[in-house]
């Protein structure tokens, strides 16, 4: 069962992701000071998403509050190696 800290960290991650999405949506198409300002805002939001995600994953690892022996684990993401290597080493790849 997730603990209260995990729920708080999840909410922080969700909020940060929404803010990042909004910041990217607000990027202006015209170069100049307005673009630079909106770009910096989007980059700051991207950094916050990364920090919030890392905090959430670290909590899950360190606290193990999600260890439910009866639940079947779900794959959250593909290993990084598969993103980088793609289909290298496979016939026809």
The answer to whether residue 83 is domain-embedded is: no
pLDDT of residue 31: 86
Six token digits for residue 76:
């959250």
pLDDT of residue 19: 96
pLDDT of residue 76: 58
The answer to whether residue 80 is domain-embedded is: no
Asked whether the beta carbons of 60 and 6 are under 8 A apart, the reply is yes
The answer to whether residue 51 is domain-embedded is: yes
How many CB atoms neighbour CB 61 within 10 A?
9
- The model's pTM is 0.65
pLDDT of residue 64: 79
The answer to whether residue 84 is domain-embedded is: no
The answer to whether residue 15 is domain-embedded is: yes
The DSSP line for 24-62 is HHT--SS-SHHHHHHHHHHHHHHHHHHHHHHHHHHHHHH
The answer to whether residue 87 is domain-embedded is: no
pLDDT of residue 17: 96
The total number of structural domains that make up the chain:
1
The answer to whether residue 30 is domain-embedded is: yes
Supply the range of the domain harboring residue 37: 4-70
Taking 70 as the pLDDT cut, the residues of the chain under it are 1, 68-93
């Amino acid at each position: 069962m997730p603990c209260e800290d995990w729920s708080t960290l999840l909410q922080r991650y969700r909020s940060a992701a929404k803010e990042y999405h909004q910041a990217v949506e607000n990027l202006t198409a015209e170069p100049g000071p307005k673009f630079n300002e909106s770009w910096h805002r989007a980059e700051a939001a991207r950094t916050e998403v990364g920090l919030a995600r890392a905090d959430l994953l670290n909590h899950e690892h360190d606290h193990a509050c999600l260890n439910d022996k009866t639940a079947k684990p779900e794959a959250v993401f593909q290993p990084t190696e598969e993103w980088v290597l793609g289909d290298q080493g496979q016939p026809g790849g």
